[in-house]
Structure 1
Amino acid sequence: MTGGEQVLDLDDRVRMWADQMGGSNGRNSAYYVDWSRVNVTTEKPLYDVRATTSAPHSATLFKSRFENNSSGEQEHTFSAQSKYTSSSSVSLHQSDEAFGQKLCVTSAGAQTSEKEQSWNVNTKIVVPARETITAQQTVQEVTYSAHFSVVTVISGKVHVTKRSANGSEVFFEPKKIADILVAFQRLPAFVTVVNDTIRVTNTGTCELTYGVEQYVTVSSSRR
């Protein structure tokens, strides 16, 4: 563990286990860990039943006024665009299978991701002679807020080969990764071992604002 960040390196745990099993400090040896028999899956996200959705509220996005001072009819195009940004703030506890077949579990600080969605409206406006037309685009918005959790499941066995400086090799019997993990240290709160599987709980909160309805209101006045 380092500072306020919790790091549990499974690759390092496996090498320490191999050192103990081989009766060596590993200074003159190299270890090759085969992760091909380890399975990593992610369960379906679970959302807190206390999730809240606000009542729809109106927001005026754009308003235009078209004045026709001529004696003939005029035609205009009313165009408007809306953009929504959905943000998700996540306190991330994750398991990563990185390059070099290195598998680690990390507890990181809160991370925020955003996704933007945009849409637009184009409406033809006909303005009679000596009239003023006002066009207004309005949307109904809803805000959704919820807590969620996602569990990553790690199971299976690792196969370790120890190669000494003189070229000799020692092959260890395949070992369950869950057994290796619990043998060394107390697990972080977000990691549990159940029925020979490692379960890593990812938790976070998300807040989304999105449009559920849009409409254009057109009104006229004659001078």
Structure 2
Amino acid sequence: MSTSLLQVRDVSFSYGPIKALDQVNFQVNKGEIVALLGANGSGKTTMLKNISGLLRPSKGAILFNEEDVTKLEAESIVERSLIQVPEHRQVFSTMSVVENLYLGAYHHYRKTGKKKVDSDIEKVFELFPILKERKDQLAGTLSGGQQQMLAIARAVMARPVLLLLDEPSLGLAPLIVKEVLQYVKRLRDEFGVTVLLIEQNVSASLKIADRGYVMSHGSVIKQGSAKDLLNDQEVKEAFLGHTVS
């Protein structure tokens, strides 16, 4: 039986008079990759920000590991190992790759100590060998794909139980997109990290996901297994660029 790690219950949120989320319900089970799909402006990023504590729902509840985290500050949510990789990567460009990784371990560094953090860095380097090659390079001088890998690697240093990924392929070439999403799959398969993924490349994201939810105008309008959504006529017409007879 699947263990529910994240539960979003009837969550609503407004930017002033504009309702961005309207009674959203979904869940993520432990060990899953779940894709949150939808056109620009459908509420996906707003939903992630509500989960991670950057925004606070006007109604509803968010449960993580069976604890109500709806009213917690973002820092407290990070301490519970719920970690978000934001859109546009946001690496510390004037710091080296390895310095960015140390920052990822900030919340548990004192508790675990430098030796254990260094061990975590070596594990991250096994997953992202290009980062090891460039460990002393300034993050701002990396390519877009390498910066995305660094953003994900920095999040892994925080030891996430649940990782929220917001558009990891944004602005990347198709071949790099495929590579980045395969790293996401390996995070689940090899590191045991559960993932909630927002991704503009619907086809590629559903190929690595277990399940998905489709949002429109702030509401979940469709859900199902990744395979079913890939073969769904409405999803194909809306996101995959062709109709199905």
User: TM tier, shorter chain?
Assistant: under 0.3
Structure 2 length-normalised TM: 0.22
Of structures 1 and 2, the one with the larger relative CO (CA 8 A, separation 6+) is: 1
Q: Give the structure with the larger helix fraction.
A: 2
In terms of fraction of residues, the more strand-rich structure is: 1
> TM-score, normalising length from structure 1?
0.23
Q: Which one has a bigger Cα radius of gyration?
A: 1
